[in-house]
Amino acid sequence: MTLGRLALVFAVLSLLGFGGGSAIIPQMHADVVDRFRWITSAEFARFYALGRLAPGPTTTMAALVGWRVAGFAGAALAALAIFVPAALVVHALGRVWQRLHGHPWRDRFARGIAPVVLGLVWASVATIGRGALDGAPTVAIALAATILMLRTQINQSLLILGAGVLGALILR
């Protein structure tokens, strides 16, 4: 029952995951934290951070939610559910693409969906922020990371690891 729910939640998110990863984060939080209470908001923020730290798409963090719910089987099922439905769509789209080639609707769709997806990325900042920022030190780390990302070419994974070391030293 729970496994079925787990698969359904992530399969739906998979199909709605336009624009890559961050756009589905607020809905994933609404489902797994607020609705089904599988994990807390703080855990969600930690899973998200690990998802960004590891190689591959951030949405692989679905596997960590699955792990919490049902161990390795849950992790594997959640990973399949978050990747396979979207993969089927893109594979089908790749096959009919020749017919759509040069169709003006294609560009209009891409241009129209971009700002909506961007709004969802902003929303995901608020979602993750709620679980991760709990005082001046964490806010300072977040702002420092923002500035480093905008101003330097630093590798994301290194930045997250560096913040982890800093956190271990100062967040007591």
Partner 1 sequence: MNSVSPWQLAVVFGRISSTAFGGGQIPAIRREVVRRNAWLSEAEFLELLGIAQIAPGPNPVNMAVLIGGRLAGPFGAVVALVACTLPGFLILLAIAAVALDPRMTFLRAGLRGCAAAAVGLTLANAIEMTLPYRTRLVELAFVLASAAAVIALRLSLELTLLILVPLSIALVRRKPA
Binding residues for partner 1 restricted to 48-107, rule: CB under 8 A: 48-61, 63-64, 67, 72, 75, 79, 83-87, 89-91, 93-95, 97, 101, 106-107
- Cβ-contact 63, 28 below 8 angstroms: no
Q: 2 vs 15, which CB is nearer to partner 1? A: 15
Closest approach of partner 1 to the CB of residue 131, in Å? 7
Closer CB to partner 1, residue 3 or residue 148?
148
Q: Which of 9, 21, 32, 74 binds partner 1 (CB under 8 A)?
A: 21
Q: What beta strand segments (E) does 97-160 contain?
A: none
> Closest separation between CB of residue 150 and partner 1, Å?
5
Which lies closer to partner 1 via its Cβ, residue 3 or residue 86? 86
CA distances from 18 to 120, 136, 140, 166, 168 (A): 10, 34, 31, 34, 35
For residue 7, the minimal CB distance to partner 1 (Å) is 16
Integer-rounded Cα Rg, in Å, for the chain is 18
Please state the closest distance from residue 3 (CB atom) to partner 1, in A.
Answer: 17
- DSSP-derived letter for residue 23 is G
Q: Identify the burial level of 91 via C-beta atoms within 10 angstroms of its C-beta, where 0-12 means exposed, 13-18 middle and 19 or more buried.
A: exposed
Closest CA relative to residue 133, chosen from 142, 124, 144? 142
Q: Which of residues 113-132 bind partner 1 (CB under 8 A)?
A: 113-129, 131-132
Among 2, 8, 30, 103, binds partner 1 (CB under 8 A): 30
Closer of 3 and 138 to partner 1 (Cβ)? 138
Q: What is the rounded distance in angstroms from the CA atom of residue 62 to the CA atom of residue 11? A: 11
Tell me whether residue 131 is exposed, middle or buried, using C-beta atoms within 10 angstroms of its C-beta: 0 to 12, 13 to 18, 19 or more: buried
Comparison of 2 and 50: residue with beta carbon closer to partner 1: 50
